[in-house]
């Protein structure tokens, strides 16, 4: 492990940037995957050399200028000052999206005067107790897509200033911002219907992705494969499994307990959070595949007016159209008997392919297709 600490000062009292740290940041700021960036951005240079609470002030000014609701945890500020971008323990911190919440309320650093702490830290008058509090990790508990969206925008802005807007990392951050924006309703729908923890799961996935990139920058230029964007479709199609570290899971449930301010049964809570078990269609034929937005605006209205057009799976069961077209459904679906993989070249496949085109063709804007969305 490379030692990323730096304490040396220049003659004028500003901190020196070690060559190692400078190289890591330049590597991370590559704009072609071949060469490191040529120079540190003015923002990175200031953050790395300025003293006391300056990095905090820099962030405040930046967020205000960009009209972004965000603040930074001490861990993030410290990461910015020291160029210590990565984390090791599986719980995202340091230079990660998780550390840019809208508010520090309800976190271990809630009551801390961070600016004062940073100044005291610098002139060595900080108490051990304060140091410990300051370095406590602030766990991500994004409950809504809006919250995630704000954090991601804040992160994009800092990444742009710190690494430059030509850098791959900035492009990647921008891609996430755009993706969240473009798929906002779909993501909200998945969250509402299937996975309450989706926002925080995405937050962790984004953090881990940048952590891998920053880790790669310690030893060289981050490889193109680290920027693979198939994960975006994977999340939408629910083929990518998003992990939630157990510490974060605990934080969410205790946060929820606090919010509800009433005794709850933890097991019940956990079951509710995880929702109902999902069934996936293995080897789902692409010809049948629809995104949930497509399904909602084509299949749902069509079936509402053509109830008789739902094909039979067997004498007693209709086909489960979610399973057929989305490629997944809930275990407790009343048509779960029909959750049987569809194979190309079968009569069943033909019938469903035709039904799909009928739905697509008859698509007319319908003012209310909320009903019948759930089976
Ligand atoms: Zn079903």
Q: How far apart are CA 52 and CA 123, in angstroms?
A: 8
Q: Which residues of 255-276 are buried (b: 16+ CB within 10 A; e: fewer)?
A: ebeeeeeeeeeeeeeeeeeeee
Class of residue 99 by CB neighbours under 10 A (exposed 0-12, middle 13-18, buried 19+)? buried
- All structural domains of the chain with their residue ranges: 19-236, 280-361
- Residue 98 half-sphere exposure toward CB, CA atoms < 13 A: 28
The pLDDT score that the predictor gives to residue 268 is 44
Which residues have CB atoms below 5 A from the ion given as ligand 1? Answer: 320, 323, 329, 333, 335
The pLDDT score that the predictor gives to residue 79 is 93
Distance from residue 180's CA to the centre of ligand 1 (Å): 27
Note down pLDDT in tens along the chain; length 375 residues.
444 444 566 666 677 888 999 999 999 999 999 999 999 999 999 999 988 889 999 999 999 999 888 999 999 999 999 999 999 877 899 999 999 998 888 788 888 888 888 888 888 888 888 888 888 778 877 789 999 999 999 999 999 999 999 999 999 999 999 999 999 999 999 999 989 999 999 999 999 999 999 999 999 999 999 999 899 999 999 888 898 888 888 877 776 666 665 444 444 443 344 445 678 888 889 899 888 878 888 898 898 888 888 999 988 889 999 999 998 888 778 888 999 999 999 999 999 999 999 999 887 555 544 444 443
The pLDDT score that the predictor gives to residue 275 is 47
Distance from residue 375's CA to the centre of ligand 1 (Å): 7
The pLDDT score that the predictor gives to residue 357 is 93
On whether the CB atoms of residues 142 and 151 are closer than 8 A, the answer is yes
Over its C-alpha atoms, the chain yields an Rg (Å, rounded) of 25
Distance from residue 274's CA to the centre of ligand 1 (Å): 18
The pLDDT score that the predictor gives to residue 119 is 86
Q: How far apart are CA 104 and CA 81, in angstroms?
A: 20
Distance from residue 327's CA to the centre of ligand 1 (Å): 10
Terminal C-alpha separation, the chain: 53
Structure confidence by residue, pLDDT tens digits, 184-234: 999 999 999 989 999 999 999 999 999 999 999 999 999 999 999 899 999
Q: How far apart are CA 72 and CA 78, in angstroms?
A: 10
- Strands of 311-368, DSSP E: 328-330
The pLDDT score that the predictor gives to residue 130 is 84
The pLDDT score that the predictor gives to residue 265 is 47
On whether the CB atoms of residues 119 and 52 are closer than 8 A, the answer is yes
Distance from residue 214's CA to the centre of ligand 1 (Å): 42
Class of residue 29 by CB neighbours under 10 A (exposed 0-12, middle 13-18, buried 19+)? buried
Distance from residue 329's CA to the centre of ligand 1 (Å): 5
Distance from residue 321's CA to the centre of ligand 1 (Å): 7
The pLDDT score that the predictor gives to residue 272 is 42
> Which SS3 state, helix, strand or coil, does residue 40 take?
coil
The pLDDT score that the predictor gives to residue 365 is 56
The pLDDT score that the predictor gives to residue 349 is 96
Distance from residue 217's CA to the centre of ligand 1 (Å): 45
Distance from residue 322's CA to the centre of ligand 1 (Å): 6
């Amino acid at each position: 492990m490379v030692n990323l600490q730096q304490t040396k000062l220049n003659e004028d009292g500003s901190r020196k940037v070690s060559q190692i740290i400078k190289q890591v940041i330049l590597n991370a700021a590559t704009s072609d995957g071949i060469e490191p960036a040529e120079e540190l951005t003015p923002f990175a240079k200031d953050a790395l050399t300025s003293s006391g609470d300056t990095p905090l002030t820099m962030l405040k000014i930046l967020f205000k200028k960009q009209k972004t609701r965000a603040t930074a945890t001490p861990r993030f500020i410290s990461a910015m000052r020291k160029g210590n971008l990565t984390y090791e323990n599986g719980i995202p911190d340091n230079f990660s999206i998780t550390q840019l919440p809208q508010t520090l309320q309800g976190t271990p650093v809630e009551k801390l005067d961070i600016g004062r702490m940073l100044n005291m830290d610098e002139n060595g008058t900080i108490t051990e107790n304060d140091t410990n509090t300051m370095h406590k990790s602030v766990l991500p508990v994004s409950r809504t897509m809006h919250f995630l969206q704000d954090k991601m925008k804040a992160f994009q802005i800092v990444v742009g200033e710190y690494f430059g807007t030509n850098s791959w990392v900035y492009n990647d951050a921008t891609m996430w911002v755009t993706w969240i924006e473009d798929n906002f309703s779909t993501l909200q729908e998945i969250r509402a219907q299937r996975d309450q923890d989706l926002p925080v799961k995405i937050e962790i996935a984004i953090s881990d992705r940048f952590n891998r990139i920053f880790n790669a920058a310690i030893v060289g230029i981050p490889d193109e494969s680290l920027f693979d964007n198939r994960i975006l479709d994977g999340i939408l199609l629910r083929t990518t499994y998003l992990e939630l570290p157990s510490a974060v899971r605990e934080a969410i449930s205790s946060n929820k307990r606090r919010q509800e301010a009433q005794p709850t049964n933890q097991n019940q809570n956990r079951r509710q959070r995880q929702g109902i078990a999902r069934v996936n269609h293995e080897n789902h034929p692409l010809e049948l595949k629809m995104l949930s937005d497509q399904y909602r605006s084509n299949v749902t209205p069509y079936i509402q007016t053509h109830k008789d057009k739902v094909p039979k799976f067997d004498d007693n069961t209709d086909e489960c159209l979610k399973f057929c077209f989305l490629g997944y459904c809930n275990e407790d679906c009343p048509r779960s008997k029909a959750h049987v993989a569809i194979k190309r070249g079968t009569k069943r496949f033909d019938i469903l392919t035709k039904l799909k085109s009928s739905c697509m063709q008859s698509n007319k804007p319908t003012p209310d297709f909320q009903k019948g969305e759930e089976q």
